[in-house]
């Protein structure tokens, strides 16, 4: 069996297959950008010592479709080709989707079983930073007010662990595949070969072919539909129903009574989406990509936290990623009235939370990241019937093709407020189980 793409979701699918004793190969077009290959870039000493340099340090690893595009054409949309894919660059936050976000394709028991398996494969822990003084004080400060509004705040699950008080190990593809013996092979896949309704293998850029008893495409929310289109697999829903997260970012200077000592563990807290606040917010000390302004340039890290809010965009059928025959890609994802309303509410919410915790750091007041950069989903969504609104069945199998599956956040059929990697991994596990049972 062949898995195309070596990111965390492809790695989870490959591991699930390999655990049954089946032979599986991962094909990856990109080079190694971490040492050892497939390990998280952020585990490097320089980023452990200076986490605020991280996003600038990895900027060259993103290839943008069109950074000059207007907002509705997603100037932040980009891809990464590397050994380990996005798994060597991701933020590692792995909250479970709220029950209201899960849809009806899986039963509650199936969700719990597959999410639990995904958490094990990704090394997700819920209490990594339980010893953080700031974390507990922030939680105590915000919990009563949020509870009165029908919301909560809790520790953010993440794929990682503490090595010591100054070192975090971020889980990546290398960790997911540890002990499996699954090879990641350099191969630029140009198309999936489909013969008589079955995937027979893949054709590479050098003209050679790799035969396979089944193919899993795990090339991300962008490259997966591009590869399908190039392979002549052009279902009506391909590239439609696109959704993503506009991200509102800010940094706070905490009230003095909330700060811990200079060696305090960084906090990592999560305010899950709620019916009256359907967005996802994290309060954490992670990395700050925005230069501060005077008089707040030099402040100790223990006085600072960031806020990141993910605001879901409705996955309207006219939110499109259009792929031309020459490979050119164009996005058209306008923000509609409901989307703008949520974004305005998110901005007001960050101001209210900041007032309870301290003040915004000069120069790092709330600002929206470039649209399209974060968490694109729905580009090859799954569904219950081949009715033109989905690309795969509810198990991630391409309609009309017996042994061709997708493992990507692109299959998530509904707008999701939380970070999507865990959800994508859970669905990939379910897909792998169906493939193995076939």
Q: What is the pLDDT of residues 40-83, one digit of tens each?
A: 999 999 999 999 999 999 999 999 999 999 999 999 999 999 99
Burial class for 199, CB neighbours closer than 10 Å (0-12, 13-18, 19+): buried
The predicted-structure confidence for 134-186, as pLDDT tens digits, reads as follows 999 999 999 999 999 999 999 999 999 999 988 999 999 999 999 999 999 99
- pLDDT computed for residue 417 by the predictor: 97
pLDDT higher than threshold 90 for residue 230: yes
d(CA 403, CA 426) in angstroms, rounded, equals 19
Tell me how many domains the chain contains. 1
Chain CA centroid to CA 163, Å: 24
Chain CA centroid to CA 27, Å: 20
Average pLDDT for 2-26: 97
- Which residues lie below 8 Å from residue 433, measured CB to CB, with a gap of 6+? 16
- pLDDT computed for residue 369 by the predictor: 96
Determine the structural domain holding residue 373 and report its residue range: 2-437
Average pLDDT for 11-18: 98
The predicted-structure confidence for 323-379, as pLDDT tens digits, reads as follows 999 889 999 999 999 999 999 999 999 999 999 999 999 999 999 999 999 999 999
pLDDT band at 262 (very low <50, low <70, confident <90, very high): confident
pLDDT band at 438 (very low <50, low <70, confident <90, very high): confident
Find the distance separating the first CA and the last CA of the chain, reported in whole Å: 13
Average pLDDT for 416-437: 97
Closest of 285, 287, 269, 252 to residue 364, by C-alpha = 252
The predicted-structure confidence for 265-285, as pLDDT tens digits, reads as follows 999 999 999 999 999 999 999
Closest of 190, 185, 212, 217 to residue 203, by C-alpha = 190
d(CA 271, CA 280) in angstroms, rounded, equals 6
pLDDT averaged over every residue in the chain: 96
Are 369 and 250 within 8 A, CB to CB?
no
- pLDDT computed for residue 300 by the predictor: 93
pLDDT higher than threshold 90 for residue 260: no
β-pairing verdict for 329-332 and 215-217: unpaired
Copy the structure tokens of residue 58: 């990895």
Burial class for 372, CB neighbours closer than 10 Å (0-12, 13-18, 19+): buried
pLDDT higher than threshold 90 for residue 103: no
CATH number at residue 111: 3.50.50.60
pLDDT higher than threshold 90 for residue 399: yes
Average pLDDT for 12-38: 97
């Amino acid at each position: 069996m062949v898995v195309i793409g070596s990111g965390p979701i492809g790695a989870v699918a490959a591991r699930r297959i390999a655990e049954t004793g089946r032979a599986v190969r991962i094909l990856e077009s990109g080079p190694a950008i971490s040492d050892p290959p497939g390990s998280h870039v952020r585990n490097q000493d320089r980023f452990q010592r200076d986490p605020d340099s991280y996003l600038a340090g990895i900027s060259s690893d993103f290839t943008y479709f069109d950074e000059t595009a207007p907002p509705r054409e997603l100037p932040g949309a980009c891809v990464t080709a590397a050994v380990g894919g996005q798994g060597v660059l991701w933020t590692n936050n792995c909250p479970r989707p709220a029950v209201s976000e899960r849809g009806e394709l899986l039963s509650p028991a199936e969700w719990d079983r597959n999410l639990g398996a995904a958490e094990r494969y990704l090394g997700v822990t819920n209490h990594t930073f339980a010893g953080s003084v700031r974390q507990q004080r922030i939680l105590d400060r915000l919990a009563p007010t949020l509870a009165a509004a029908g919301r909560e705040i809790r520790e953010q699950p993440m794929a990682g662990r503490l090595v010591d008080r100054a070192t975090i190990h971020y889980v990546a593809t290398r960790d997911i595949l540890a002990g499996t013996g699954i090879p990641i092979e350099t191969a630029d896949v140009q198309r999936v070969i489909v013969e008589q309704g079955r995937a027979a293998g893949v054709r590479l850029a050098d003209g050679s072919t790799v035969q396979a008893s089944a193919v899993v495409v795990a090339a991300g929310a962008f490259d997966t539909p591009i590869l399908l289109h190039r392979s002549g697999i052009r279902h009506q829903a391909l590239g439609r129903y696109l959704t993503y997260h506009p991200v509102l970012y800010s940094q706070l200077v905490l009230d003095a009574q909330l700060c811990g000592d200079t060696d305090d563990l960084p906090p990592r807290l999560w305010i899950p989406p709620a019916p009256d606040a359907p967005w996802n917010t994290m309060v954490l000390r992670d990395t700050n990509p925005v230069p501060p302004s005077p008089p707040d340039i030099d402040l100790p890290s223990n006085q600072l936290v960031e806020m990141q809010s993910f605001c879901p965009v409705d996955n309207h059928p006219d939110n499109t990623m259009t792929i031309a025959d020459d490979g050119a890609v164009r996005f058209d994802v306008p923000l509609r009235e409901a989307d703008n309303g949520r974004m305005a509410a998110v901005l007001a919410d960050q101001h209210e939370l900041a007032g309870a915790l301290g003040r915004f750091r000069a120069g790092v007041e709330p600002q929206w990241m470039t649209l399209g950069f974060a968490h694109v989903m729905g580009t090859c969504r799954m569904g219950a019937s081949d009715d033109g609104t989905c690309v795969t069945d509810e198990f991630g199998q391409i309609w009309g093709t017996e042994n061709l599956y997708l493992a990507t956040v692109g299959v998530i059929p509904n707008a999701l407020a939380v970070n999507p990697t865990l959800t994508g991994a859970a669905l990939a596990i379910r897909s792998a189980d169906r493939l193995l049972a076939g």
